[in-house]
Amino acid sequence: MNSGVMPQATRLHELLALQASRQPAATALWWQGQATSYAQLQQRVAQLARRLASVGAPGDRVGILAFNGPEFIELIYAAAASGRILVPLNARLAPPEWCYQLTSSGVSLLFADSDLLQALRAGSGAPQTLLAVDLQQDYEQWLDGAQAALPATAADDPVWILYTSGSTGRPKGTVLTHRSFMAGLESAALARPVFPGDTYLYPFPLFHVAAHNVLLQHQYGAAVVLLRSFSPQETLRACRELQVTTLSLAPTMIAMLLDSPAFSPADLVTVRTIGYGASAMPETLLRRLLADTGVGLCQSYGMTELSGSAAFLTVEDHQRAVAGQPELLRTVGKPLATVQLKVVDDAGGECPTGEAGEILVKALQCMSGYWQQPEATAATLVDGWLHTGDIGRFDARGYLSIVDRKKDMIVSGGENVASREVEEVLRSHPAVRDCAVIGLPHPYWGEQVAAVVVLETEASDAELAAHCRSLLAGYKTPKGWRRVRALPLNAAGKVDKPVLRAEAAQLL
């Protein structure tokens, strides 16, 4: 008997399939001026999924090393439909970092942009058994190969392994499931609703967890405008020509839009909401945006391990901020009804209002664990609570503020940089006896990576930077350098980074 209730997706790839059946002719994707309908995208995804199913077995890891493009989105859905686990690699990393992630996750099939694949092959350490498909040269031919029936998939099956810049040196592979992804989308929809006819612009890399925003749009049948990478001019042109209604930007990107010689308030006349995260919104920038446009702003607090975000500072909160409550901008808003969030002290007791402690989250959207790292998983997921490593506090109204990052994470231009990972690379230089890596304020990038070094023998800034750049991504390479005779230690015998930050700030 037909109840009249429309079926809902419980697995990631069903989002696209359902919309293809409901509105096949509607635009699913805009890419470089070309529109792809939901039916067309689903047809491509179905072919790719059956092709993937003919190689290996369910549960195999499939990697993608690429900048944004339609093939990336095809693979997101097709890997899920074929029962494979997608491993998106950060295209901005260095080849040794890619090799570590490919090896530790056990990727057997890799899709890659030509130039990135060339860089990977030029290095050493990639798995010998890795089968690579060049997205520009071989993809279409590979896609026309053998096909196989799709396996059954379950909601708790892993769907992504996404590497995060952890504080313990090597990145950890965060395992996200169909269930966690879908729960993350449910949370996002509460704070950033998608309306019929919406056109959403996505300028961030698809290899970030921020890609869940694309899936959110497809869940509700909106069109996604995909940019290869962020450009103020391209963003403004897309908003103007395609009548974009919502988009995601970092505060630095918003500033670049307003500073662009091409900017006109008319470019954003159709934009209802800009979602942002990664760093706080300066009040001056907020007032400037609202003075020139009618755009609403919504900030999110989340992380890879949460399959998205758990707290939001809403459009209404931003309006209150400019109407006499600017302190709201120093918060990340309130937790959503879909999550439990608490702040605890070192003994695990819940902190009273106004007192800082570690932020813990319990929700269906939490990761299932770290790939093949049971100890790290057990330390992070305790009694159903995810320990975020962030220090925060609640105010009397229930707004959450982030006080510090417990794990000394540096956030530069929206990218996470683990200080210990950079420190380990620096210490491998023969001239470096000891070092500490810290984040220092930067007007555009939020923070910049800086290194304080104790040297055995003389080495120039350029030499040390080149050493780091050969092993790390450019954004992880220190931009500021200080030389000291010894690093300050706290009472526990650990390097006192607050002292280093304070000393460095005096020199700025």
> Using 50, 70 and 90 to split pLDDT, how confident is the model at 4?
very low
Q: Tell me if 300 is assigned to some domain.
A: no
DSSP line for 351-368: PPTT--EEEEEESTTS--
Tell me which of 153, 171, 192 is where a domain ends.
153
Nearest CA-CA partner of 230 in 252, 213, 215: 252
Q: CA-CA distance, 321 to 255, in Å (whole number)?
A: 18
Question: What's residue 421's pLDDT?
Answer: 80
Q: CA-CA distance, 2 to 349, in Å (whole number)?
A: 50
Question: What's residue 493's pLDDT?
Answer: 54
Across residues 61-86, what is the average pLDDT? 98
Q: CA-CA distance, 1 to 363, in Å (whole number)?
A: 34
> Using 50, 70 and 90 to split pLDDT, how confident is the model at 92?
confident
Question: What CATH number is associated with residue 466?
Answer: 3.30.300.30
Question: What's residue 246's pLDDT?
Answer: 97
Across residues 365-387, what is the average pLDDT? 97
Tell me which of 131, 153, 175 is where a domain ends.
153
Each residue's pLDDT tens digit, 404-453: 666 677 888 888 787 778 887 998 899 998 899 999 988 888 889 999 99
pLDDT at 7 over 50: yes
Question: What's residue 278's pLDDT?
Answer: 66
Across residues 144-173, what is the average pLDDT? 88
Q: CA-CA distance, 33 to 226, in Å (whole number)?
A: 10
pLDDT at 2 over 50: no
% of the chain at pLDDT higher than 90: 74
Across residues 466-477, what is the average pLDDT? 94
How many domains would you assign to the chain?
A: 2
Q: CA-CA distance, 119 to 130, in Å (whole number)?
A: 15
More confident residue, 277 or 74: 74
Q: Tell me if 273 is assigned to some domain.
A: no
Question: What's residue 344's pLDDT?
Answer: 95
Tell me which of 115, 131, 153 is where a domain ends.
153
Measure Cα distances from 97 to 60, 161, 289, 358, 469 in Å. Answer: 21, 15, 38, 29, 11
pLDDT at 154 over 90: yes
> Using 50, 70 and 90 to split pLDDT, how confident is the model at 492?
very low
Q: CA-CA distance, 28 to 36, in Å (whole number)?
A: 6
Q: CA-CA distance, 84 to 75, in Å (whole number)?
A: 10
Question: What's residue 279's pLDDT?
Answer: 65
Across residues 110-128, what is the average pLDDT? 89
Q: CA-CA distance, 24 to 45, in Å (whole number)?
A: 14
Question: What's residue 167's pLDDT?
Answer: 45
Least confident of 95-99, 123-127, 399-403: 123-127
Q: What integer best gives the mean pLDDT of the chain? A: 91
Q: Tell me if 258 is assigned to some domain.
A: no
Residue 216 buriedness (CB in 10 A; 0-12 / 13-18 / 19+):
buried
Question: What's residue 169's pLDDT?
Answer: 60
Question: What CATH number is associated with residue 42?
Answer: 3.40.50.12780
Q: CA-CA distance, 41 to 31, in Å (whole number)?
A: 12
pLDDT at 53 over 50: yes
More confident residue, 252 or 191: 191
Question: What's residue 349's pLDDT?
Answer: 96
Each residue's pLDDT tens digit, 206-220: 999 999 999 999 999
pLDDT at 78 over 90: yes
pLDDT at 224 over 60: yes
Across residues 262-272, what is the average pLDDT? 94
Q: Tell me if 59 is assigned to some domain.
A: yes
Structure token digits, residue 160:
């992504």
Q: Tell me if 479 is assigned to some domain.
A: yes
Question: What's residue 481's pLDDT?
Answer: 95
- Check residue 246 and report its DSSP letter: E
Q: Tell me if 495 is assigned to some domain.
A: yes
% of the chain at pLDDT higher than 70: 95
pLDDT at 490 over 80: no
Question: What's residue 395's pLDDT?
Answer: 96
pLDDT at 403 over 80: no
In terms of residue numbers, what domain contains 141? 1-153
Measure Cα distances from 168 to 102, 171, 263, 410 in Å. Answer: 19, 8, 43, 13
